[in-house]
Amino acid sequence: MIIKQKPKADLKMVVKGRSVSYNDKGKGKMPIIFLHGFPFDKSTWQPQMDALAVTHRVIAYDIRGFGKSEAGAEKPNIRLFADDLVQFMDAMEIQKAIVCGLSMGGYILLNAVFRYANRFEAIVLCDTQCITDSPEAKEKRKQTIKQIKGNGIKNFAQAFTKSVFCQETMDKNKELVENTHNIVLANSFDAITETLGALTRRKETCSTLGLIDVPVLILCGKEDIITVPAQSELLHRSIEQSKLHFIKKAGHLSNLEQPEEFNKHLLKFVSGISKK
């Protein structure tokens, strides 16, 4: 499975004075909204959009500063991204949704579900975690920012792309790897460095997990080295209404590396929610 080219039918809407690019496909009473990870864009959800649009309404948008969405004047942070999600739902006249977030998208979702609990029918947490960065991880991000400022994003894009895939994907799905690398390169210098700073400053959400009162699906690549499987197990132990599945032969981008397996779990979960 490869990432296809961005759909020509990208839609745009002004939310709080800022242009947001999104896709909206299919029909259904309970929309499913997808939040992409760092440093990607909405096109990384295309295998899920295509599969679920047959039976559900599915929406994916570019987080501010990424893809085709404007960055706005505010300094990026996870709380701001969570506010953006709810404001986007307001603009779309969506009172409640099932929301699926991967990696940074999961950070955003955990922040949002704590502060706007009544806006979520269910959530899906993919290859993400509730902990904040360790001192070592913060220092590593700061050094990465310095390197990007000194040398540009080319080396960063190459190294980061390699880190998000398991070895089998790197060896056998070179087109997926190349397309993902190009998505990283397409984002702006400012979006990458400013958002790295936002990730460094993010607060833990582990202490709020026990308050989540909606069904939760947790998916994680068995070979994820960025948000390791133990972090998904922590989420599962801490959230009462949660189900956990590991995706074999997948790293950090489990939805792209093994889309059929990923979609099977996702479709079963959202279909069960929709029938309630």
Q: What percent of the chain has pLDDT over 90?
A: 94
pLDDT of 9 reads: 76
Q: Is 99 a domain residue?
A: yes
The 3-state DSSP class for residue 61 equals strand
Domain-located, residue 6: no
**Structural domain includes residue 191:** yes
In a domain, 122, yes or no: yes
54 CA to centre of own chain: 22
131-159: pLDDT as tens digits: 999 999 999 999 999 999 998 999 999 99
pLDDT of 5 > 50? The answer is: no
Cα distances from 169 to residues 44, 137, 181, 224, 249, in angstroms, run 15, 25, 13, 12, 8
Q: What is the pLDDT of residue 235?
A: 98
Amino acid letter at 52? L
The half-sphere exposure of 12 on its side-chain side, counting CA atoms within 13 A, is: 10
Please give the C-alpha separations between residue 9 and each of 21, 100, 186, 262, in angstroms, as whole numbers: 10, 22, 19, 25
Domain assignment of residue 167, yes or no? yes
The partner residues of 77 in beta bridges, in order of sequence, read none
pLDDT at 4 (0 to 100): 46
Sign of the C-alpha dihedral computed for residues 142, 148, 151 and 153 taken in this order:
positive
Q: Which helix (H) or strand (E) holds 9?
A: none
In a domain, 46, yes or no: yes
C-alpha angle 195-92-76 in degrees, rounded to nearest 5: 15
Question: Distance between CA atoms of 139 and 133, rounded to whole angstroms?
Answer: 9
Domain count for the chain: 1
**Looking at the domain assignment, is residue 1 inside a domain?**
no
Tell me, what CATH number does 212's domain have?
Answer: 3.40.50.1820
CA distances, 60 to each of 29, 48, 184 (Å): 17, 10, 17
- Helix axes of 78-91 and 104-115: crossing angle, nearest 10 degrees: 70
Half-sphere exposure of 151 (CA within 13 A, CB side): 11
Instruction: Give the model's pLDDT for residue 179.
Output: 97
**What domain range is 108 assigned to?**
11-274
Q: Give the model confidence (pLDDT) of 157-173 as tens digits.
A: 999 999 999 999 999 99
DSSP assignment string, 238-252: H-TTEEEEEETT--S
